[in-house]
């Protein structure tokens, strides 16, 4: 149900508008002046604000600014008297959706509000279509294993069932979650993503459920949580195994009852959210160790979808590699036509411990470091994590354990710069790359050194 706030100092008009919109299925609240409206916006969420321009305590422009500050998705429609149209047009420049001139017919106002919500839905639908177009090109499924995954996606997408996606890091769990949302009837609404492992434990509840102003030190204004933002849409909880038992209990309640309270708040918020969760950990093992709730596991895994590692779906390796090669070729304005047979064999033989993410990074390095149209094995740098240092093959780098692929690359560039006393061309020569590639890596990882002018790396010739 859409929530409206009517801000009008004329009592009869204010009450008439509230009665009409309540009868038409909206949940409507009123404020007799701008100051009261600002206080209401601090306390609650509204989908649309209808405000007069000239009022005691605060004018319509101040109400507009407050609404945008609290929630940029709140629509604002301003009412203005004859002779004050210029102020209403000015409000539209600052983000108001539309204005209506007094006196007006109630049907005219209702039509404008319906158009406002239609515009909002069309914008969300357009974004959903863009997501679908991206999905068509992003998910490669030449292997029978991935075709089976996408068949399950097709079957469950239009249901309300929660889905638990499991698989190793880098297999594409987020892409599969996007596909489920994109093919569902919720696709016109938000897909909200949360990386649970990236949020400190003391902030995770506020991120998921929101908080009221003053709920804790630093809570200067009300915050809308991810569950609320995902209302009518989908919430993707990545790395859900990293949640504490306390947070797991609150998530379980939100899943079961579709309701929660903001941190520091008393009002119960009700939502309609489809949850998709993902993890690279064995949750049954986590349950055995007392680190994950059994009841939450069963609530999440109504549909359990496992994404196989890249080494188990070799038919996808070359199509994915070709797609990434073309992508980075376009971005870097390089003519790259494909792989020589020996390079194809190398790609098929590699175990790809980092899965699709590792393959994508390898193709980016390949385009950067090679000037050839046809890629040979010597043009492909593959990271091989080994227990001890070993001589470098032409197509492999030995790096310490404990780093992800990007971290390994960053460490290699940093060590080369340090050993070369931060002389870029010497570091590039040590790594066997061009000065252009070295300059690209320095910018990518934001390396700086006092020797470089203005604390930025100097330009290099192509």
* Full set of structural domains in the chain with CATH: 3-120 (3.40.50.2300), 146-308 (3.40.50.300), 311-455 (1.10.8.60)
pLDDT above 70: percentage of residues in the chain: 87
Range with the poorest average pLDDT among 149-153, 267-271, 409-413: 409-413
* pLDDT mean over 53-82: 86
Q: Quick check: 457 pLDDT over 60?
A: no
**Confidence category of residue 384, pLDDT binned at 50, 70, 90:** low
Q: What was the pLDDT predicted at 168?
A: 93
Please state whether 426 falls in left (phi above 0), alpha (psi between -120 and 50) or beta.
Answer: alpha
Tens of pLDDT along 276-311? 999 999 999 999 999 999 999 999 999 999 999 999
CA distance 60 to 381: 60
* pLDDT mean over 335-362: 92
Q: Quick check: 388 pLDDT over 80?
A: no
54/173: higher pLDDT = 173
CA distance 307 to 329: 28
Half-sphere exposure of 250 toward its Cβ, with a 13 Å CA cutoff?
Answer: 17
Q: Quick check: 143 pLDDT over 90?
A: yes
Of residues 149, 145, 53, the one with CA closest to residue 102? 53
Query: Would you mind telling me the total number of residues written for the chain in this entry?
Result: 462
CA distance 422 to 151: 52
Q: What was the pLDDT predicted at 451?
A: 63
| Mean pLDDT across the chain | 83
> How far is the first Cα of the chain from the last one, in angstroms, to the nearest whole number?
59
CA 383 to chain centre: 28
Neighbour-count burial of 318, counting CB atoms closer than 10 A to its CB (0-12 exposed, 13-18 middle, 19+ buried): middle
Q: What was the pLDDT predicted at 125?
A: 55
Pair 96, 78: CB distance under 8 Å: yes
* pLDDT mean over 132-143: 63
Among 127-136, 307-316, 452-461, top mean pLDDT goes to: 307-316
Instruction: List, edge to edge, every strand of the sheet that includes 3-7.
Output: 27-31, 3-7, 48-52, 75-80, 98-101
Range with the poorest average pLDDT among 150-164, 339-353, 382-396, 436-450: 382-396
**Residue 21, H or E segment:** helix 11-23
Pair 184, 323: CB distance under 8 Å: no
Please state whether 146 falls in left (phi above 0), alpha (psi between -120 and 50) or beta.
Answer: alpha
* pLDDT mean over 5-17: 92
Of residues 145, 135, 153, 143, the one with CA closest to residue 303? 153
Pair 258, 268: CB distance under 8 Å: no
Pair 33, 52: CB distance under 8 Å: no
343/202: higher pLDDT = 343
Task: Write phi, then psi, for 278 (nearest 5 degrees).
Answer: -145, 150
Name 183's bridge partners.
none
Instruction: Supply angle C-alpha 136, 311, 156, rounded to 5.
Output: 40
Residues 6 or more apart whose CB falls under 8 angstroms from that of 33 comprise 7, 9, 55, 56, 57, 58
CA distance 59 to 88: 11
* pLDDT mean over 312-332: 92
| Number of Cβ atoms within 10 Å of the Cβ of 10 | 14
Residue recorded with tokens 């319906």: 114
- DSSP-based three-state secondary structure for 101: strand
Of residues 262, 255, 224, 263, the one with CA closest to residue 237? 255
């Amino acid at each position: 149900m859409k929530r409206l706030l009517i801000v009008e100092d004329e009592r009869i008009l204010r009450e008439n508008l509230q009665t009409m919109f309540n009868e038409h299925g909206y949940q409507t609240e009123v404020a007799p002046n701008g100051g009261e409206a600002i206080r209401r916006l601090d306390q609650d969420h509204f989908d649309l604000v209808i405000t007069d321009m000239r009022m005691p305590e605060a004018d319509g422009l101040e109400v507009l600014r407050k609404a945008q500050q609290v929630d940029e998705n709140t629509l604002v429609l301003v009412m203005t008297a004859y002779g004050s149209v210029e102020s209403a047009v000015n409000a539209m420049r600052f983000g108001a959706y539309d204005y209506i001139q007094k006196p007006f017919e109630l049907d005219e106002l209702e039509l404008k509000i319906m158009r406002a919500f239609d515009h909002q839905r069309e914008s969300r639908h357009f974004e959903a279509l863009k997501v679908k177009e991206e999905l068509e090109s992003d998910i490669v499924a030449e292997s029978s294993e991935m075709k089976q995954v996408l068949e399950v996606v097709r079957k469950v997408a239009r249901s309300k069932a929660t889905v638990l996606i499991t698989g190793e890091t880098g297999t594409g769990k987020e892409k599969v979650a996007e596909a489920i949302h994109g093919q569902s009837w919720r696709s016109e609404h938000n897909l909200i993503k949360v990386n649970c492992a990236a949020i400190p434990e003391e902030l995770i509840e506020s991120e998921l459920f929101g908080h009221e102003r003053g709920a804790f030190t630093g809570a200067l204004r009300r915050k809308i949580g991810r569950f609320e933002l995902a209302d009518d849409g989908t919430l993707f909880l990545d790395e859900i195994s990293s949640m504490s038992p306390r947070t797991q209990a609150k998530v379980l309640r939100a899943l079961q009852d579709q309701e929660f309270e903001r941190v520091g708040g008393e009002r119960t918020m009700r939502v309609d959210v489809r949850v998709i969760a993902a993890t690279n950990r064995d949750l049954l093992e986590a349950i055995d160790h007392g680190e994950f709730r059994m009841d939450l596991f069963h609530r999440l895994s109504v549909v359990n979808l496992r994404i196989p590692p890249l080494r188990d779906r070799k038919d996808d390796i070359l199509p994915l590699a070709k797609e990434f090669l073309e992508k980075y070729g376009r971005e870097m304005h390089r003519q790259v036509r494909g792989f020589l047979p020996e390079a194809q064999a190398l790609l098929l033989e590699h175990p790809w411990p980092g899965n699709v993410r590792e393959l994508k990074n390898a193709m980016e390095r390949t385009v950067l470091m090679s000037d050839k149209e046809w890629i040979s094995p010597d043009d492909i740098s593959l990271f091989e994590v080994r227990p001890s240092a070993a001589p470098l093959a032409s197509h492999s780098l030995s790096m310490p354990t404990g780093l992800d692929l990007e971290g390994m690359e960053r460490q290699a560039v940093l060590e080369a710069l340090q050993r070369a006393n931060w002389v870029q061309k010497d570091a590039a020569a040590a790594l066997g790359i061009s000065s252009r590639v070295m300059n690209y890596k320095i910018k990518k990882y934001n390396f700086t050194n006092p020797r470089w002018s203005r604390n930025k790396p100097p330009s290099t010739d192509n």
